Structure 1
Amino acid sequence: MRDGLPRASASENLRLAGTLFASGFVRGTFILSGPGCALTDRLDTQRRAHELLTELIRRYGGRPVLARGPGGPTLLPLSREDVTRVLAESDDVYAVSTKDKRAAVSPFLGGSLLVSTGAMRPVRRAYVGSVLEHAAHQLDLGRIAEEEARAVRGLVDYDRLEQVWQRVARRCVFGSGARDDTELTALLRRLRRDANWLGLNPRATLRQRVLSRRHDARVRDHLTRAEPGSLAAILAACPGPPEVNLIRQAAFWLMGMSVTVTGLIQTLALLAAHPAHCTRAAEDTGYLRACLMEGLRLWAPVPMLARVTTRETSWYGHELPAGTSVVVPVGALQRHPALPYADRFCPEAWPVPAADDSCPAAAGAAPAPDEPWIAPFSRGQGQCKGMEIALQTGTAFLAQILATRQPEAVASPLRPPGPLPRTLNPLRLRVALHPRR
C-alpha cells in the first residue's frame, strides 16, 4: 500500500477489466445490446464483479482502490464514507460529464445538462430543475401512463413493453401529437446505438452527426407545437438562458424516459414471481413505487456511476491529479453483503409514503440515509433531475396494469426461494398478464 491508497495488482486489474469495465461496454452503455446482454448473462459478469469487489473490500479494508481503467488511473470507492464523498460533493470537483460520455452523445445531446461542464453546468442545472419542478406541479403525466398502459395485456416481453412505453415518453415530453412518431424514436435508438461506441468508432460518430440533423428537426417541430400538458409546453412558458439548447435538452429527457422500461419489466417480473408482494402493490401505489425502486436496485440499468476529478484531490494521504476517473460500481454495491436484503426482493427496505401524502417530492421513495451506495438515480448534484417524473409515470403505468391484470412469471429465473441472480438479461424476461377475477 502506497501513501495509504491501495493499488490493484496486475491480476486484479485484469479481472476488473473483464468483469466490470468491459462488461458494461459489451452490454451497451446507452442502449442495451441483445448479443451483449446474452453474453454477459451467460458469463454472469455481475456475480463475478461482485465477488471481486468483495475480495477487494476484504483485502484492503474497504479503502478506495486505484485501478487501471479504460481511460487510465481509476479510483474505485468501496465504503459508505467514500461513496458518500464522491456522490455528495460538488460536481465542480467530481464532474458528471466525463470524456467518454461527451464523445458518445455530444453529436446529438450537446448543449443539454448531461454533457455540461464548467460555468455552464450550474446555469443549465438550475434551469432544468426549475422546469421539472413546474412540471411536477402543473402536469398530470401519470394520466398519460395510465392511458397507454391499458394496451398492455397477454404475453409481455421487453420489446412489447418498450413499444407502449415509448408512446408514454413521447406524449410526456411533446404531447399527444408525438404519440405515433415512431420515426423519432427510431432515430434516437440509432443514435444511442452508435453512442455505445463511446466515440471509439469514427464511422459511428460520423453517422451520429448526419442523423442528429434529422433528429433535431423532428424535435424542433414537436417543441414548436408546445402542446398543453407536456414538458414542451413548460419549456415554452419558461424561456431558458442562451446556455441551454432546448432541442437537445428535450431529446435528453426523451432518452432518459426510454431507460425506464428496463426497470418496469424487471419490476413486473419480480411481482409475477412474488404473488404476496404483487397483491399488496396492486392495492397500494406507495408500496408499488417501492417495488419499482427495488427492481432498479437489484439490477441497475446504469451499473457504474462515472465521475472525473476537475482538480487535485487527496485520498488517504495520496494526491490524485485532476482528470482522474472515479467509478462508483453501484450495480455491485447495491447488492453489498452488508445489506441483509442484498439478494432478496425487499420493497420494505424503502420508505413507503403515507396514503394521504399529496406532495410529489415528499412522496419520493429514498434509501435509508446510511446506505449511500443504493443510488438507482445517482445522488447529490449528479442525481437525475427527471427522477420524480420517471417514478411518477412508471408507478402509474404499473398500477394500471395491476388494476386489471394478474402477472404470471414465464420460465422466470426470479422465482423464490433462494437468492435472486446477480446478472439478469431484461431482454429475455417474459410475463403473462391474465384478467383479474
Structure 2
Amino acid sequence: MTESRTENENTAGNAATLPPGASGPVRAGRAEALRFAATHTLPAFVRGFVNARPRVVAAYAAINQPAWSAATLRAMRARHGGAPVLVRGLSGPVLVLFYEADLRQFFAEPVRTLSLDAPDKNKGLTVLEPTGVICSHGELREERRKINDEVLAGDRPLHPACAQYQGIVEEESLALTRRATLDFSQMKQATGRISRRVAFGDRAAGDEELTGWLSELRDAANWMGLVKSRNKADRALYAKATARFEEYAADAPGHALAARALSCPAGADTDPLGQVHHWLLALDGLVGVILRTLLLLAAHPAEQEAAHADIATGGPELPRLRACVQESLRLYPLVPDLVRVTRAETVWGGVRHPAGTSVLVPIGFHQRDSARVPAADLFVPGRWLEADADRDLRMAPFSHGGGRCPGGQLGLLLTSAICAQVLRGHRIVGGRPAVDPHRPLPGTVDTAAIRLRLAPR
C-alpha cells in the first residue's frame, strides 16, 4: 500500500476513491494475470482447497511457495496503488482487494449482498456439505446459520459444554506424552477421536471407517466437480456418511454437537445435521494447528514458559495459550483466501461492479504484510492479548462480520486445551523442521513432517 493511499484512508475513513487518473475498473494485464494464476490460484488448486495433499504441501514447504504468491501480490498492489484489481482467474475474473477501506467494506457488507456461496466454492463443497451453511443463501442460509451459532456458541469463549469437552481432551491426550517424541500420526489419531466424541459422543470415538469416508469425500471436493465420472459415487458415499451421522445423533449425549443441533427448532428444509460434515472437517483440521503451535513454542522457550504459567492457573480460559494458537493461525491460516460473490451491484474503490462479481481478500498475504503488521513474519503471541486485537482487520484467522466462522471460539478452546495437555508436566525441548526464532518464519510448514521431543518438566 502506498504511503499516500494510507494517508487518504486515515482521513477519509470508509470512503472509496479511484486512484488518480483512473476512470473505470483497474484490470491486471495479461502477463500480470498469468503470474497471478501461476503463483497464487493454481498452487492453491494443486494443494487442495478442502483436503490438503500431503506431498504437495511438502514440496511447497521445500521451496517456500507462499513467498512467490506474496511477491506477486506486493507487485500488483504497488503497480496499481492499492486499488482493487480485476484479475482473470482460473474460472473467470476476480476482484482482488488490497486497500484497508476495501477490506473494511468486505467485512462490513451483509451476507445477503456479499455471499459466501461463491460458485467455485460450491463446486467443491456441494460434494461434501450440500445442505451446509456455506452452500446456502437467503432465508434458508439464515436459518441454518442460526442453528450453527447456537450449536457452536460462537459468541462465547467458553462453550456451554466446556467441562465435557475438557474431559474428552484430557482422556484422549494421555497417549500423546507416553513417549519422548510426538509426531503427526499420534496427534492425528488423538484429535480424530476427540472430534468424533465432541460431534457424536463416546460411541463414535473409534469409528475410523467414517473418517475414511469423509476423507474420500474431501478429496473429491478438491476437484470442484471437474471429475464428472465421480459424481454418482460421491453422492452414494455422502448418503452413507449421513446415515452414520443420523445413527449416532439418535442417541448422542446432550453435550455432543449433533444432539445440540437436533435440539434446535428447524424448518422442513433446514437439515440441522447438514452442517456436521463441516464441523468434522474443521475439527480434523486442528491437528495441523496444534502441531504448528507446539513447534513454534519449541523454538521460543520464553513463550513456552509463559504458556506453562498459564496452565498452572488451572482454569479453562488459557489466554496465553489461546494467543499462541491465534498467532500460529495468523502465520499459517487454514483459509488463506476469503472469496465471496456479490448478490447486488457494489462499489469498490469508487467503481461500480455488477452482481455476480467474485471478490477475493488474500488474507494470508495481509496477515503477513510487513508494511502494515509489525514483526509480520515473527511469532509474537502477545499481540493477541492487546485490547480489541480480535477485531483488528489486518488479522482475520476466523474472518470478521457476517461471514465470521462461528466455530472459532470452540476451535480455540479445543486446540489450547490439547496444547495444555501436552505441556502439562513436560517441556518441548526440540522440534523438526528446524525453526529459527530470529529469522522470518517460512511461509508454510510441512505438518506431516513435524517431530517434537518432550522432556519431563
Fold similarity call, TM over 0.5: yes
How far did 1:376 drift?
0.8
Q: Judge which range, 317-326 or 2-11, deviates more.
A: 2-11
User: 1:352, 1:166 → 2: CA distance?
Assistant: 33
**TM superposition shift of 1:24:** 1.0
Residues 97 and 115 of structure 1 are in contact (CA less than 8 Å); yes or no, is this contact kept in structure 2?
Answer: yes
Please tell me the root mean square deviation across aligned C-alpha atoms, in Å. 1.9
Q: How many residues are matched?
A: 423
Q: Write the deviation string for residues 388-418 of structure 1: whole angstroms up to 9, x where unpaired.
A: 1111111111111111221133333322221
- Picking from 368, 383, 388, the partner of 1:349 is 383
Greater alpha carbon shift after TM alignment, 377-386 vs 142-151: 142-151
Specify every segment of 5 or more residues in structure 2 that has no aligned partner in the other structure, as ranges. Answer: 1-20, 311-317
Deviation at 1:368, TM superposition (A): 5.5
Does structure 1 conserve the Cα–Cα contact (< 8 Å) formed by 2:61 and 2:443?
no
| Alignment partners' CA distance in 2, 1:204 and 1:428 | 31
Please say which of residues 4-13 and 60-69 is displaced more in the overlay.
4-13
My pick for the range that moved more, 141-150 or 86-95, is: 141-150
2:132 corresponding residue in structure 1: 112
Q: How far apart in 2 are the matches of 1:408 and 1:4?
A: 56
Structure 2: distance between partners of 1:281 and 1:163: 24
Q: Separation in 2 of the partners of 1:385 and 1:404?
A: 32
* Alpha-carbon separation, structure 2, partners of 1:273 and 1:203: 47
Name the CA distance, whole Å, in 1 between partners of 2:54 and 2:98: 30
- Runs of at least 4 residues off by over 6 Å: none
Q: CA deviation at 1:261?
A: 1.8
Q: Percent of aligned positions with the same letter in both sequences?
A: 34
TM-score of the superposed pair, with normalisation by structure 2: 0.88
Q: Deviations over 1:46-96 (max 9, x none)?
A: 111112212222222211111111221101111221112112211111111
Give the AA of the match of 1:90.
P
Residue 142 of structure 1 aligns with an amino acid whose one-letter code is Q
Q: Does 1:241 align with 2:267?
A: yes
CA distance in 1, matches of 2:136, 2:242: 18
1:161-310 superposed matches below 5 A = 161-284=187-310, 285-310=318-343
The amino acid of 1:344's aligned partner reads L
User: Structure 2: which amino acid aligns with 1:151?
Assistant: A
Partner of 1:356: none
How far apart in 1 are the matches of 2:280 and 2:425? 28
2:168 equivalent among 141, 144, 160: 144
Secondary structure of the equivalent of 1:111?
coil
Task: Report the Cα offset of residue 167 of structure 1.
Answer: 0.8
Instruction: Give the CA deviation at 1:2.
Output: 4.7
Letter of the aligned partner of 1:162 in structure 2?
K
Q: Which moved more, 1:256-265 or 1:294-303?
A: 256-265
Question: Given the two structures, how large is their TM-score scaled by the length of structure 1?
Answer: 0.92
Query: Matches of 2:90 and 2:264 in 1, distance apart?
Result: 41
The Cα shift of 1:4 comes to: 4.9
**1:420 aligned counterpart, secondary structure:** coil
2:108 is matched by which residue type in structure 1?
A: A
Q: What displacement does 1:139 show?
A: 4.5
Aligned mates of 2:261, 2:443 — CA distance in 1: 40
Q: Provide the C-alpha distance between the structure 2 equivalents of 1:298 and 1:280, rounded to a whole number of angstroms.
A: 20
- 2:313 — aligned with what? none
**Aligned equivalents of 1:156, 1:43: Cα separation in 2:** 25
Once the two structures are superposed, what CA deviation does each residue of 1:325-358 show, in whole Å capped at 9, x if it has no partner?
11111111110112112010000110269xxxxx
SS in 1 for 2:385: coil
Letter in 2 for 1:381: G
- Compared with structure 1, are the counterparts of its residues 204 and 282 closer, same or farther at alpha carbon in structure 2 (3 Å cutoff)? farther
Corresponding position of 1:324: 357
- 1:372 counterpart (383, 393, 400): 393
Q: Deviations over 1:189-238 (max 9, x none)?
A: 11101111111111333331121121111111111112233122322332
